[in-house]
Amino acid sequence: MKLGFYPRLAFDGIRKNSRMFLPYILTCVGMVSMFYIIMYLALSPVLDAMTGGEAMRQIFALGSWVIAFFAAIFLFYTNSFLIRRRKKEFGLYNILGMGKGNIARVLFWETAFTALTAIVAGLALGILLSKLAELGMVNVMHGAVTFDLRVSAVGVLRSVQVFGVIFALLLLNSVRQVSFSSAVALLRSENVGEKPPRANVFLGLLGVLVLGGAYVIAVSIRDPLSALMWFFVAVLMVIAGTYLVMIAGSVLFCRLLQRKKSYYYKANHFVSVSSMVYRMKRNGAGLASICILATMVLVMISSTTCLYFGEEDAVRSRYPREIGVSASVTDMGGSSAEAIRPVREAVRAIAEEHGAQMKNVIDYRYIDVSGIFTPEGLVETDSNAVDSLEASFAGITTFCFVPLEDYNASTGEHVELEDGQALMSGVRSSFDGDTLTFTTGLTFDIAGRTDSFFAGGNSAVDIVPTVFLFVPDLYAVMGRLVSELPESTVKYLVLRWSFQFDSGLDAEGQKALADELRTKLRTGGEELLHFDGVTVNTIECREREKEDFFSLYGSLFYIGIILSIVFIMAAVLIIYYKQISEGYEDQARFDIMRKVGMTRREIRRSINSQLLTVFFLPLIFAAMHICFAFPIIRKLLMLFNLTNVSLFALTTAVSAGVFAVFYTLVYRLTSNAYYNIVSGAREERS
């Protein structure tokens, strides 16, 4: 054979099957370009000059591997459509005298052409759009814009390596399928599975149970820590349950439609249902894949959009006041108030030098211990029990004991309590009892609950709930804890002091004030102020910390958009191939129906009936998944300091609405492609 025979044969195969190959190649181009853009952003020097740039770099690097992993799985899935469509052609080659080795050479050149086109065009598109993507990232994260153009050599090399490996694996898989099939099996590949499948009631019920279990987990989670632990378990259960329900349930659904005579024995339903029932197992897997992709898109877009537009709320939740000073007090006795006074006066003096007007001051001492609620309702505070792997992590709570006098001074109230009583304020805590008893014997009657005390800070970002207990005598509580807890726990008991206030300064003024506080109170410079019995640990400034929040939430929002685009591309291609492959399968049936008198109008009605019967099932299931996932995702967002439920509900509703419109447009476009195939319209026009 001539040297160029196999390349020409491969090129002709791609050209003649352009309806199948073109969307596949375009998707590969999109995957390569997305991967390069993410690598470009991860390696961008712009991140070096941005606050939180290193964290953003790690997020983008992780996103690039997510795209690579998903691209490998998805391209294997879509490549199966191509191979299934081409097997009949390869079987004909085999009968005409070409051996399996010769067919493997054709596959090699087809894969080489596809890979070369996808990688070169994908890199060209990625390089073309990379600067635009960088400008969008900088804008989203409130960074400084630069207009220098560059090409990431590492991004190019990594893209070639990753997708070179993926296409090599695709080639091996294609050769494997052809090599282990006889010529007859290849010729009849499109007719495999043409006997009606049986509805597997057991798998259907198992799917319902698994899906129901995932829903129960999602709606019963009560705290963010449990949500973090169970989220991925619930996701895996939803994926498994969706596939089982749609594969087994779709067959049963078609059988029920056949038994409903008033529905089945109509011209527009008879052909569609009888066609669907033969391929519903494979069809169910495709529908489940579309459903999972749609759910992933909705979850990512709604949650990351909520984080991005709610970042100001999150910042104020973490930093309720503009400036915060925290310190640890080594004096555990009653003189702690005297030890703290010089620090407080130093902070006030420095603030006055900067022209700050201290408002909304919160000033309190506290000690904290971690505890676990036991089945008996007691609180176990032994550190060995808390650290035990057998402990129920969902029950871990941080208990902060605060003097009642500090509460009254900070809130302006005049609450009075007796010994053994406590006023309570909870952060993400579900405890609603009237008595709180520790296993050490310490017991408090909850005299009331208050929302007027919000310390923010660590309690706002802690993944476990926090309970503030305002007690009349803090030192009596400390004495009981020191005497009754084991030494392993006592060593963590430290009296702390928190001082927070609003300054009335602009952003730069707040940063300058925080910098001087940090210099004079915390560093070892010449101006270091020394305090007996008190060590200043942290100085926080909302305006400075806001940059970290914006970079984190902005990068999550940006990576969410890019991954959503990738998943949408995958869903569209699955829908398209589903319609095209089923169109070719049904072409012969509809051709027979046309010959016996079925009009084009009746064909169109039958197609609409078939598509509408199953096409919107993934969207309905995705909406159902989102509704049940709403509580657990809301708990996870609390870990990012976002408690604005109405904002999350709004972003979820808008995301679902926009996706539904887009899904409908895809339905219209792909249904026309299906109609052109089965009605013979394309052939007649040509």
Answer yes or no: are the C-beta atoms of 339 and 533 closer than 8 Å. Answer: yes
Q: What is the pLDDT of residues 492-521, one digit of tens each?
A: 678 888 899 999 899 899 999 998 888 888
Q: What is the pLDDT of residues 470-491, one digit of tens each?
A: 999 888 888 887 777 766 666 6
Contacts made by residues 45-50, CB under 8 angstroms, sequence distance 24+: 46/134, 46/137, 46/138, 46/143, 46/144, 46/146, 49/143, 49/144, 50/138, 50/141, 50/143, 50/144, 50/547, 50/551
Helix/strand/coil for 449? strand
| DSSP code string of 459-486 | HHH-SS-EEEEEES-HHHHHHHHHHHS-
Question: Burial, 3: exposed, middle or buried (Cβ in 10 Å; 0-12, 13-18, 19+)?
Answer: exposed
Q: Looking at residue 169, what is its pLDDT? A: 92
Q: Looking at residue 167, what is its pLDDT? A: 93
Q: How far apart are CA 329 and CA 43, in angstroms?
A: 44
H-helix or E-strand containing 400? strand 396-403
- C-alpha dihedral sign at 598, 602, 606, 607: positive
- Specify the amino acid at residue 342: P
Q: How far apart are CA 539 and CA 515, in angstroms?
A: 8
Strands 379-380 and 359-373: antiparallel
- pLDDT bin (cut points 50, 70, 90) of residue 551 is confident
- pLDDT bin (cut points 50, 70, 90) of residue 392 is very low
Strands 396-403 and 466-471: parallel
Residue 596 pLDDT > 80: no
**DSSP, res 438:** B
Q: How far apart are CA 354 and CA 343, in angstroms?
A: 17
Q: How far apart are CA 123 and CA 59, in angstroms?
A: 21
Return left, alpha or beta for 430; rule: phi > 0 is left, psi -120 to 50 is alpha, else beta: alpha
**What is the end-to-end Cα distance of the chain in Å, rounded?**
34
Q: Looking at residue 470, what is its pLDDT? A: 92
Higher pLDDT, 438 or 683: 438
- C-alpha dihedral sign at 217, 221, 225, 228: positive
Least confident of 101-105, 253-257, 291-295, 323-327: 253-257
Domain locations in the chain as residue ranges: 1-192, 198-318+544-686, 319-543
Q: Looking at residue 526, what is its pLDDT? A: 45
Q: Looking at residue 558, what is its pLDDT? A: 80
The residues facing 468 across adjacent strands are: 400, 425
Answer yes or no: are the C-beta atoms of 354 and 537 closer than 8 Å. Answer: no
Least confident of 79-88, 181-190, 585-594, 631-640: 181-190
Q: What is the pLDDT of residues 197-215, one digit of tens each?
A: 555 677 778 888 998 998 9
Average pLDDT over residues 101-125: 90
Average pLDDT over residues 306-323: 83
Q: Which residue has the tokens 């052939």?
A: 683
Q: Looking at residue 389, what is its pLDDT? A: 37
pTM of this structure: 0.70
The residues facing 324 across adjacent strands are: 500, 540
Q: How far apart are CA 611 and CA 607, in angstroms?
A: 6
Q: How far apart are CA 302 and CA 107, in angstroms?
A: 42
Instruction: State the CB neighbour count (10 A cutoff) for residue 224.
Output: 21
Residue 537 pLDDT > 60: yes
**Letter string b/e over residues 576-595, b meaning 16 or more CB atoms within 10 A of that residue's CB:** bbbbbbbbebbbeebeebbe
Q: Which residue has the tokens 């101006």?
A: 527
Return left, alpha or beta for 493; rule: phi > 0 is left, psi -120 to 50 is alpha, else beta: beta
- pLDDT bin (cut points 50, 70, 90) of residue 130 is confident
